[in-house]
Amino acid sequence: MIPPIASQFVAGETAPGALEHARETNERGVGVILNLLGEHYHERGPADEDAQTYCDLLDDIATTDLRACISVKPSQLGLDMGEDVFRENLARVVERADEHGEFVWIDMEDHTTTDATLDAFEHHAREQGCVGVCIQANLRRTRADLERLADLPGKVRLVKGAYDPPADVAYREKSRVNEEYRDLLTYMFEAFDDGVAVGSHDPAMIALAEDLHEEHGTPYEVQMLMGVREDAQTELAADREVWQYAPYGTKWISYFYRRVLERKENLGFALRAVVSG
């Protein structure tokens, strides 16, 4: 049983509960990206099981009128056991999504997984097109990665980066990461014809995206986490496309504490949730 404070960040422990959350969120005009919690498997069984769960979830979404899609983590699908395991399980999921006309986001994990993740995304973007990938602004390599991805089908979500990579591969100062995010977002609106996914809760970055859209006409969507600035999600959805990233499943404890502790603003949201009951 998920306690009330955690239930503000996690969409239940089961697929039916997650789909019900998606339906309620859709009623506020917000689409939902569902992620089954789980990562860094070191045995094949759990990775295969989660891949099958995603396939089943895609089957379920396809029988509804929900604005919902899924997001998977490479280590959840077996990357820690080898790129071949990850690619095999990802192919199962993406092929099922393609059958139903559904969409799959591929999350980006720590910097050591970037090449394997982008290689897999590029393959499926060219083969099926129903995929998106997350890119982290704090990594020094990201501008070159975006130049590689600019002409591919599929979508790219730009986030600031929640992991803690070493200084030789990443910008560490918050102000420098913000500067890089602004520069990369500007480049994406100039170079990405198929649209931009703005993964940010920062009002300044969302306002910048609106200005860039007015200047370039590039379509875009805003993506935020479940439980963070939900009133703003609803307000923004009145005149632009907004999606909420909503995790679910029994492995919610580590996710919840990581989200609360990784950024000061999330800790504030959680504390206010405790106070308000």
Tens digit of pLDDT for each residue in 108-117? 999 999 999 9
CA distance 51 to 96: 10
Over residues 81-110, the pLDDT tens digits come to: 999 999 999 999 999 999 999 999 999 999
CA distance 199 to 46: 29
Cite the active site residues. Answer: 107, 157
What backbone phi and psi angles, to 5 degrees, belong to 64? -115, 175
Q: What is the pTM of this model?
A: 0.92
**Which residues contact residue 84 at a Cβ distance below 8 angstroms, ignoring those fewer than 6 apart?**
none
CA distance 235 to 33: 18
Mean pLDDT across the stretch 15-24? 98
Over residues 32-60, the pLDDT tens digits come to: 999 999 999 999 999 999 999 999 999 99
CA distance 7 to 68: 19
Q: Percentage of the chain surpassing pLDDT 90?
A: 83
Domain annotation for the chain: domains and CATH numbers: 4-276 (3.20.20.220)
Q: Percentage of the chain surpassing pLDDT 70?
A: 89
Q: What pLDDT, on a 0 to 100 scale, did the predictor assign at position 8?
A: 83
> Please, is 239 exposed, middle or buried when counting C-beta atoms within 10 Å of its C-beta (0-12, 13-18, 19+)?
exposed
